[in-house]
Amino acid sequence: MPSICCYFQVHQPFRLRHYTYFDIGARHDYEDEAKNRDILRKVAAKCYLPANRLLLDLLRRHEGRFRVSFSISGVALDQFERYHPETLESFRQLAETGHVEFLNETYHHSLAFLYSRREFLDQVKLHRARIRQLFGQNATAFRNTELIYNNDVARVAEELGYRVILAEGADRILGWRSPNFLYQPAGCVKIKLLLKNYRLSDDIAFRFSNRDWPEYPLTADKFARWIHQINASGEVINLFMDYETFGEHQWEDTGIFEFLRVLPSALMQHPDFRFETPSQVARQYSPMAQLDVPRFVSWADVERDLTAWIGNDMQNDAIRSLYALEKDARRRANAALLPVWRSLQTSDHFYYMCTKWFADGDVHKYFNPYASPYDAYVNYMNILTDFARRLRPSGGGPHDSA
């Protein structure tokens, strides 16, 4: 009896304001408050509120037969609370159904695992506490930022007590194997590994409205037939995607909400299929094999590696300069600045500096608020220069009072 595991990533970065060389030492308001507020409210109106209303109706209508899971970054939760409490309340309503699982991740949607194990652990603990406070759940499932994963990530997650971890079902780590089974991470004893079926997930997330796609239009019945064909060759079909797929990346007029409304019923027409959350899947099935992933894998781009964030000299210079400030940021005298340092870790800042055009370039340009990766780098480094001055015992200058 195969399970369908739907997981949605919810994330909105705090976007940085235009910050010039002449602002260094003169002002310390790094975030674009107006842009962050306006974007959050726009996405809430187009995606979060209508999608949550639809999911709430589906969860109630199917009375436990339909289940979903979310990972909501801490910075997204902070923006909900600050700019649009109605969105936060709508996620609470989903939690109250008892049929939604909330995962843990790094609070600031950071790449901390790659640069500071201490910071990674601190952010995971912060996120765990926030999810408990808001939704009353002690998370047992984990996903690292951008689905960045290798054996070491799994081992640390297991040490933290998680029962299941999510990752990209990239061909280069699976080889001949299928993503439609659970696996045991190499070097681990208890934790289980769920792998995204990226072909089926991307059919919804990226190809749904593509009129040049041979399978266009994608209907719920057609997609359900594809899922049902896996019946004899898999135990769990993992559909992982950005929640903003619904209404923001795929606009309402594409029919994406109607697709979502009909999909659960279409999938459950086959009596052997059921919806379960990651933790339920981990309890239900045993790993089919051990999977050794020594090199990092992620969700991004054709390569599904780390090059979307640390693939060029600008990105590496920026992120190494940032983590070089950790000791100073953690000094007791700088306690008020520690959250600022953490907010500068959000992976989006480095994604904007990516110079990978060609096949992946359209995706990078779509999400980039800067005119070029170089502009993103200069803006970020101006801010980081000012922030580094503020961390110094001397304060960094006469204008350092803001």
Are 153 and 113 a contacting pair, CB within 8 Å? Answer: yes
Catalytic: which of 101, 119, 146, 244? 146
Structure tokens at 207: 């190809």
Are 279 and 101 a contacting pair, CB within 8 Å? Answer: yes
Per the annotation, the verdict on 96 as an active-site residue is no
User: How far is Cα 310 from Cα 318, in angstroms, rounded to an integer?
Assistant: 9
H or E segment to which residue 287 belongs: none
Are 162 and 185 a contacting pair, CB within 8 Å? Answer: no
Are 309 and 354 a contacting pair, CB within 8 Å? Answer: yes
Burial (0-12, 13-18, 19+ Cβ within 10 Å), 285: middle
* Phi, psi angle pair for 142, to nearest 5°: -135, 145
Where helices occur in 63-145 by DSSP H, the ranges are 74-83, 85-96, 117-135
User: How far is Cα 368 from Cα 378, in angstroms, rounded to an integer?
Assistant: 14
Structure tokens at 378: 């200069």
Region at 204 (left for phi over 0; alpha for psi -120 to 50; beta for the rest): alpha
**Residue numbers annotated as active site:** 146
